[in-house]
Amino acid sequence: MSKISNQFAAIIKAKIKKYAKTQKQEQHDEGCVVSVNDGIVIVSGLDNAMLNEIVKFENGSFGMVLNLEANCVGVVMLGNYTNIKENSRVIRTRQTISVPVGDNLLGRIINALGFPQDGLSNIKYKIKMPIEKIAPNVMMRETVSRPLETGILSIDSMFPIGKGQRELIIGDRQTGKTTLAIDTIINQKGKNVKCIYVAIGQKESSVVQIYQTLKKAKAMEYTTIVNAPASDLPALIYIAPYTGTTIAEYWLNRGEDVLIVYDDLTKHAINYRTLSLLLRRPPGREAYPGDVFYLHSRLLERSCQLNKKNKGGSITALPIIETQIGDISAYIPTNVISITDGQLFMVTSMFNAGQRPAIDPGLSVSRVGSSAQRSYVKQTASTLKLDLARYNELRSFSQFGSDLDDETKQILNHGERIMALIKQAPNKPYEEIAEVLILFAIKNRIIDYIPLNLINNFKDEMLEYFIKQKNVKELSKKQTLDGKLTAALLKEMQQFTLKFIKKIPNYDSKQYGDIAKLK
Ligand code: ATP
Ligand code: MG
């Protein structure tokens, strides 16, 4: 008898224990609002809430837990918070933020939560993925080895970008940063690279303009725009780059190549600083919170080239940073420079002087891309950087002296022509073979025979003539210049140049070098 009663007692005890546990859990799954301030809600009672967990408010809005403290949690609002009152109920959802991913997002503008912003139909999706994820580890990665063509001559030749690389575009306002990124997206047409443009804290009007540019270039077919405009809630601006990366990771995991542009991370950092100060986190240097480095490093580490075992996909990232009067040693610029694999430094003075894209050849670098450069680009671009460095050095001297020796004159002439040739209008990327032809003419000093004011006419005519040539077709197939091909191409180009020169009235052959060498 006592045995049975003991058994009953045990069952009842277990039931009570379980009941107490669920009661306790329910208690901790529901909290109440302590205060509401600028989109930040302090909630008490959510003892078990997780970092980045979504919580639901009585008015139907959602928020994200960003601060965990002893007696309360700090929640940033993801929706309307005007009618949230003190003491109103808050419920845990036990979920972190996840966004829809997949091919249906191509051609669309979405907000940071994945909802359409373009006034078109709802987006059908099968999968949602959490926006925070640990980056692939070293064993899953491979070194950068395939080029990502930007179609911008100065970048592809001197600062080549490889698939899986992170190349920072940095410069003051209005120096053509966004244009570089958009041109790179346009140039991915037909190259099997999906693109994501994340607009962070920008004007809606600029985003519309970018959408129209991409649409006109038929680039929206393979592009998604994640838009978190300046008017959005700070929490949405904060998660936007992670949303973009998550969408990119879906394709990465399927072995595809993705290009992602973060425009720009300065605004992202400033927005995060605002959030952190409102959450009363201690301010550090320039009032940024202590983890602002981690904010961007955990984002950019997710861009990578995966190895064959992991399907070999890649995410190439072009983060953009805006500087104040060219100061790249400020806090956020130095952080992002140290996280990325190189930077394209845009200079206001060059931009204003009409030398656009205004990429500083001295301060810009690409630390990993050169191993990804195709052989014929590498061969023809080999002397370019040095030529430009010598030109820039002598240019400042030559301003004072009037009598220059022949060698100096030649370096200056050559440099001036290179500078004219690397000017490039927006939204007009070059095909790779066209770049190789221009670089070939530069390397073999063909351009030195052409008067500076005619250099672009020469380039246009030369490209038009050569692209159809047999040798050039062979070159674009082989993608490398052997001795025979080089000699044949050089001869052909010399003859073309001679013909071009003959058409120029009053051509002063002494000024430009010995024409006999062209024969
Ligand atoms: P912001 O700081 O406002 O974001 P930004 O640095 O992104 O500016 P863009 O918006 O790309 O600069 O360009 C500024 C202006 O310069 C635009 O009107 C653009 O058309 C023009 N521009 C950019 N690149 C070139 C170029 N290569 N040739 C001629 N004009 C250009
Ligand atoms: Mg811009």
Residue 401, pLDDT score: 61
Ligand 1 centroid to residue 439 C-alpha, Å: 25
Of the ranges 14-23, 70-79, 200-209, which one carries the lowest mean pLDDT score?
A: 14-23
Q: Looking at the chain, which residues constitute the CATH 1.20.150.20 domain(s)?
A: 379-518
Q: What stretches of 264-330 show up as alpha helix (H) in DSSP?
A: 265-278, 292-300
Q: How many CA atoms lie within 13 A of 417 on its CB side?
A: 28
The confidence score (pLDDT) of residue 402 equals 67
- 352 Cα: distance to centroid of ligand 1 (angstroms): 11
Q: Rounded to two decimals, what is the model's pTM?
A: 0.92
Any idea which fold 23-95 has? Elongation Factor Tu (Ef-tu); domain 3 (2.40.30)
Span(s) in the chain for CATH 3.40.50.300? 144-371
pLDDT of residue 1: 53
> CA-based angle 450:453:454, to the nearest 5?
50
CATH number corresponding to 379-518? 1.20.150.20
C-beta of 267 in contact with ligand 1 (< 6 A): no
User: Which of 150, 169, 178 for mutating ligand 1's site (highest number of atoms within 8 Å of CB)?
Assistant: 178
The pLDDT of residue 518:
74
Both tokens assigned to 476? 């674009």
Distance 390 CA to ligand 1 centre (A): 28
Indicate which atom in ligand 1 lies nearest the CA of residue 171. 6
Q: Where in the chain is the domain with CATH 2.40.30.20?
A: 23-95
pLDDT in tens, 451-487: 999 999 999 999 999 998 998 999 999 999 999 999 9
**Average pLDDT of the residues in 444-448:** 94
Q: Could you give the CA distance from residue 307 to residue 298 in angstroms, rounded to a whole number?
A: 20
pLDDT at 505: 87
Find the mean pLDDT for residues 421-430.
95
- Asked whether 357 lines ligand 1 (CB < 6 A), one says yes
The three-state secondary structure class of 162 is: strand
Mean pLDDT of the chain: 93
386 pocket-lining for ligand 1 (C-beta < 6 Å):
no
Banded model confidence at residue 3, pLDDT cuts 50, 70, 90: confident
Q: What is the pLDDT of residues 131-146, one digit of tens each?
A: 999 999 999 999 999 9
Residue type for position 424? Q
Find the ligand nearest to 423 CA: 1
The set of catalytic residues is 367
pLDDT in the model for residue 26: 58
pLDDT of residue 517: 75
Nearest to 162 by CA among 301, 302, 265, 303: 303
Q: Which CATH number fits domain 144-371: 3.20.20.70, 3.40.50.300, 3.40.50.2300, 1.10.1280.10?
A: 3.40.50.300
- Residue 162 near ligand 1, beta carbon < 6 Å: no
Which stretch of 29-33, 255-259, 300-304, 333-337 has the lowest confidence by average pLDDT?
A: 29-33
Tell which atom from ligand 1 comes closest to the C-alpha of 264: 4
Residue 15 pLDDT: 83
In degrees, to the nearest 5, what angle opens at C-alpha 511 toward C-alphas 510 and 517?
55
Confidence of residue 513 (pLDDT cuts 50, 70, 90): confident
Task: Judge whether residue 48 has pLDDT over 80.
Answer: yes
Atom of ligand 1 nearest to the CA of 179: 11
Q: Ligand 2 centre from 189 Cα, in Å?
A: 22
Kindly tell me if the per-residue pLDDT of 508 is higher than 60: yes
Task: Ligand 1 pocket test: pick from 152, 179, 318 the residue with the most ligand atoms within 8 Å of its Cβ.
Answer: 179
CB 259 within 8 A of CB 150: no
- d(C-alpha 241, C-alpha 310), whole Å: 24
Residue 25: what pLDDT?
Answer: 57
pLDDT at 119 over 70: yes
- CA dist 350 and 358 (Å) reads 5
Query: If you search the block for the tokens 């600083």, which residue do you land on?
Result: 273
Q: Is 326 in the pocket of ligand 1 (CB under 6 A)?
A: no
Maximum mean pLDDT: which of 254-268, 385-399, 497-511: 254-268
* 175 Cβ inside 6 Å of ligand 1: yes
Interval 160-192: pLDDT, tens: 999 999 999 999 999 999 999 999 999 999 999
In Å, how far are 67, 87, 88, 159, 372 from 59, measured between CA atoms?
22, 13, 9, 52, 53
Burial letters 388-406, b for 16+ CB under 10 A, else e: bebbeebeeeeeeeeeeee
Task: Report whether residue 176 contacts ligand 1, using a CB cutoff of 6 Å.
Answer: yes
Please check the confidence at residue 275 and state whether its pLDDT lies above 90: yes
Q: What is the largest CA-CA distance in the chain?
A: 124
- Closest ligand, as measured to the CA of 154: 1
Q: CA-to-CA distance for 491 and 365, rounded, in angstroms?
A: 34
With 0-12 CB in 10 A as exposed, 13-18 as middle and 19+ as buried, what is 44?
A: middle
Give the Cα separation of 5 and 11 in Å (integer).
10
Please, which pLDDT band fits residue 511 given cuts at 50, 70 and 90?
confident
- Three-point CA angle 123, 127, 133, nearest 5°: 115
| Average pLDDT rounded to a whole number, residues 52-59 | 94
Q: Is the pLDDT of residue 509 over 80?
A: no
Residue 28's pLDDT band (cuts 50, 70, 90)? low
